[in-house]
Structures are given as C-alpha cells and as structure tokens.
Structure 1
C-alpha cells in the first residue's frame, strides 16, 4: 500500500467533519472481519467495513487487508481510520494519498488524520 508522496501543501476548499468519532485502529497482524464494500457517489474505491476485536468497526483500505487461506483476514500493516476535521481555508501538509483520501498534518500543529481529496486543492505556498 505504499502510497507515500513527497509532502505537499494543501488548501482546504470544502469543510469536512468526521462521522466516526471512534476510528478503527490496529497494528500489523491484527485479525480482521471483512464486511461490505463501500459504494457511494464519491471517488472512494476499495474501502471495506472491517471489525477487529475490542473496537467499533470502521472503513479500511483494501490494500492492507490480507486474506488468508481459511478465508479469514488480517492487517498487512498498522492503520488508523482517524479523520481530520477541517474548515475551508485551513492549510495542511499531505504525505500519503489512498483511495480518494489524503493523510494530512495540520500546519504548525501535531494533529493528523485522513481528509477526502475532493476537499483539498494543492497549494503552491
């Protein structure tokens, strides 16, 4: 799933607020129960609703779901579905793009999380 990019600065052009206050988070090797595939009007391909013991379910990119011979699955790497709440005009630094989302850090702060690519515009500042 190496979708790392050279860090890029983004300007938020549309507000985004997470609908998942308790994001699924797990370490490499965690057992996963894979459910429905995300179907929606957004350009968010290859996301599956997964569960892992002791947490609420959440959306996980297909690239880190390893299906085993016995039809069970596990995480091929550590992951968090934490989303970053952003407002129009915020400046962010993105370091990874995956399935229509960008992993961003808020400029000047240690806050980070996923933001939909459609809410961002690359900034030359």
Structure 2
C-alpha cells in the first residue's frame, strides 16, 4: 500500500512537456512516497481537484498545515 502525502502549492508552475500539469498557488496535491525523488528536487504529484498528474519541482510545494 502506498502512503499518500498531502502538499500545498506555494508557487505557480507550468511544465514544458506535452499535456503538462499546471499548478496555481494554493492548490492541493497528493504525492506518493514511491514517486518522491529527493536527489533531483522533483516529485510526482496528482492534483486533488482534477486528477492531473505530473512532475513538480519541490520548491513549488509546502507541507500541508
């Protein structure tokens, strides 16, 4: 079973890849521990509102309070 970690977007982000995930400050995202890549500073996220998924720079995320 995968543990899900909730995060809050603190910085807008738009990917350069096809069908990118777009983040807006204040949105909630889910991050699965199996997808967190601490070494390169990016995490695989899913937007709670739309289900869109994609790689997000960790600098755009903050632990949910």
TM bracket (short chain): 0.7 to 0.9
2:14, 2:23 → 1: CA distance? 7
Partner of 1:100: 41
Q: Any unmatched runs of 5+ in structure 1?
A: 23-82
Extract unaligned runs of 5+ from structure 2. Answer: none
TM-score, with structure 2 as normaliser: 0.77
Aligned length: 60
Give the superposition deviation at 1:21: 2.4
In structure 2, the residue matched to 1:118 is: 59
Which TM-score applies when normalising by structure 1? Answer: 0.43
Greater Cα radius of gyration, structure 1 or 2: 1
Q: What do you get for the CA RMSD once the two structures are aligned?
A: 1.8
Higher strand share: 2
